[in-house]
């Protein structure tokens, strides 16, 4: 399908018919109309190159302002060197004095037609297409040109000989040249009066409705937001049935969030569209460059490269955008990110620990293990940590679960020797007991901080510890019994020897 769909039936008359020659081009047929003229398909008589020629018809040329605006479009489009703006090849005047503009001939479909045929569109495809449009609009803004009529119908998706399809921005007939720009002097200043209605109402910014003169690049940011909203949801931003109601909606109604109709749209992208559509232009992105940077995390890898080119981002920033795009949507945007809720099992463990564990144990269980520190019991570690600040480091199982002696139980002979020699050893305080509840609380706190794999290790460590404790208990009883028997034997021998 041609890029220049027929939208203005009143402009079809008074145009060169098929077979007419315009310069070196022979007209073949009328293929459509733009904002200020009729578009003809023509062929270069020598090279056979197919082109599109836009001509201002007589009934439109009766308005001097229309003629000046048409010539301004010619100069504006010719100055923009982006591949994402339809290329101007030539321009001139017909014998009748009407101006014409020769442009590249495009085959493909507009985004408006594609939306009707293939909705819903992929999120990353939509973002990529808008980023390509931004590439062209950014160069226009650098020249002081505000498009003022961006919409899906003016974004054309054309095939290329190699590589993916490319988006081209069409129809600069409603463009405004800002004061002080290089084109302002060339085109003789503005021809738009404050009461002129320039653009398509559904995509016009509120300030553009109030006055077509009082617009800047942020009016195009609004139009790109309205385009994004429509391409993602499949329906216009505002759908009133009369022009007056559309104006009222644009001026005062808050647009419906994109995610209401597309749950798969990331919340961060929803926020980007909402900012574009702010009623107060000071709250929008100040330029399309900032808009491109905000859209980058939601684009494809090729789209993020284009965004990096638009924003001048470094490779590191591009890699960061890759990481953001790979993350879940809730983690992409800090402004909309909500704190994650803890798992129910962790909540129960934390509550149980807080309600039962001693304060010293609680502090010990939250303290990171120092590199090289020897293993101690839970209560001894609590004593060391009593005045130490809390930290959020990774907890170690050997400190909290393997709190008791890790060495194997002593042999019976060693126990007997220890018992016999105990009265002759220097006095020392008995070891501080570690209650089963203390160990259990420490386990709960360790499970609260560990992941699933660590939880499995925790169970293994617990079983090993319990087995070691049981073995140690049995060994102690046996040693005590042997000690008693040995003592009785020694006492008996002493009694008989005294006799």
pLDDT of residue 398: 38
Tell me how far apart the alpha carbons of residues 320 and 325 are, in angstroms, rounded to a whole number.
9
pLDDT of residue 150: 96
Q: Residue 10: pLDDT above 60?
A: no
pLDDT of residue 485: 86
Domains recognised in the chain with CATH numbers: 9-104 (3.30.200.20), 109-189+198-332 (1.10.510.10), 344-491 (no CATH)
Q: Residue 252: pLDDT above 70?
A: yes
H helix runs in 202-287, sequence order:
206-210, 217-233, 243-252, 258-261, 267-276
Q: Residue 439: pLDDT above 60?
A: no
Q: Among the listed ranges 76-90, 123-137, 171-185, 256-270, which one has the minimum average pLDDT value? A: 171-185
The pTM score is 0.60
Torsion angle of C-alpha atoms 115, 119, 120, 125, degrees rounded to 10: -50
Mean pLDDT over the full length of the chain: 73
Sequence-distant (≥ 6) Cβ neighbours of residue 431 within 8 angstroms: 377
The helix (run of H) or strand (run of E) holding residue 52 is: strand 50-55
Work out the percent of the chain whose per-residue pLDDT is above 70: 60
Q: How confident is the model at residue 198 (pLDDT cuts 50, 70, 90)?
A: confident
The dihedrals phi and psi of 33, each to the nearest 5 degrees, come to -150, 145
Q: Which sequence positions are flagged as catalytic?
A: 149
List, for residues 464-486, the tens digit of each pLDDT value.
555 555 556 666 777 788 888 88
Q: Residue 363: pLDDT above 80?
A: no
């Amino acid at each position: 399908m041609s890029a220049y769909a027929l939208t203005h039936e009143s402009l079809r008359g008074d145009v060169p018919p098929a077979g007419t020659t315009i310069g070196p081009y022979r007209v073949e047929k009328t293929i459509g109309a733009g904002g200020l003229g009729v578009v003809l398909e023509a062929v270069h008589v020598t090279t056979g190159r197919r082109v599109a020629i836009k001509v201002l018809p007589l009934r439109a040329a009766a308005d001097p302002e229309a003629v000046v605006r048409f010539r301004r479009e010619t100069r504006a489009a010719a100055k923009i060197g982006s591949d994402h703006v339809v290329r101007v090849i030539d321009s001139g005047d017909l014998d009748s004095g009407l101006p014409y503009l020769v442009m590249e001939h495009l085959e493909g479909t507009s985004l408006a037609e594609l939306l009707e045929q293939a909705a819903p569109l992929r999120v990353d495809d939509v973002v990529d297409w808008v980023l390509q449009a931004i590439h062209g609009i950014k160069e226009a803004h650098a020249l002081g040109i505000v498009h003022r009529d961006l919409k899906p119908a003016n974004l054309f998706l054309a095939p290329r000989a190699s590589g993916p399809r490319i988006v081209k921005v069409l129809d600069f007939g409603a463009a405004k040249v800002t004061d002080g720009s290089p084109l302002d002097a060339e085109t003789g200043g503005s021809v738009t009066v404050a009461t002129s209605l320039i653009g398509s109402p559904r995509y016009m910014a509120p300030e553009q409705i109030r006055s077509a003169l009082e617009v800047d690049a942020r009016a195009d940011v609004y139009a790109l937001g309205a385009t994004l909203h429509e391409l993602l949801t499949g329906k216009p931003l505002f759908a009133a049935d009369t022009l007056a109601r559309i104006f009222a909606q644009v001026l005062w109604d808050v647009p419906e969030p994109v995610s209401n109709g597309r749950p798969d749209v990331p919340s961060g992208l929803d926020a980007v569209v909402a900012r574009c559509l702010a009623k107060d232009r000071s709250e929008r992105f100040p330029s399309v460059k900032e808009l491109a940077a905000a859209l980058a995390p939601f684009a494809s890898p090729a789209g993020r490269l284009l965004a990096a080119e638009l924003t001048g981002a470094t490779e590191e920033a591009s890699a960061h955008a890759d990481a953001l795009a790979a993350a879940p949507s809730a983690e992409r945007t800090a402004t909309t990110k909500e704190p994650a809720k803890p798992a129910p099992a962790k909540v129960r463990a934390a509550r149980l620990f807080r309600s039962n564990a001693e304060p010293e144990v609680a502090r010990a269980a939250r303290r990171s293990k120092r590199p090289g520190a020897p293993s101690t019991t839970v209560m001894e570690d609590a004593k060391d940590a009593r005045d130490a600040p809390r930290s959020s480091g990774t907890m170690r199982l050997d400190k909290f679960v393997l709190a008791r002696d890790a060495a194997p139980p002593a042999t019976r002979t060693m126990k007997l020797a220890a018992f016999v020699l105990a009265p002759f050893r220097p006095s020392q305080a008995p070891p501080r007991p570690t209650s089963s509840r203390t160990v259990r609380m420490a386990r709960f706190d360790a499970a609260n901080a560990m992941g699933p794999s660590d939880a499995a290790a925790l169970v293994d460590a617990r079983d090993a510890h319990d087995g070691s404790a049981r073995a140690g208990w049995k060994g102690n009883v046996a040693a005590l019994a042997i000690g008693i028997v040995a003592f009785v034997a020694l006492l008996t021998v002493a009694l008989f020897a005294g006799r």
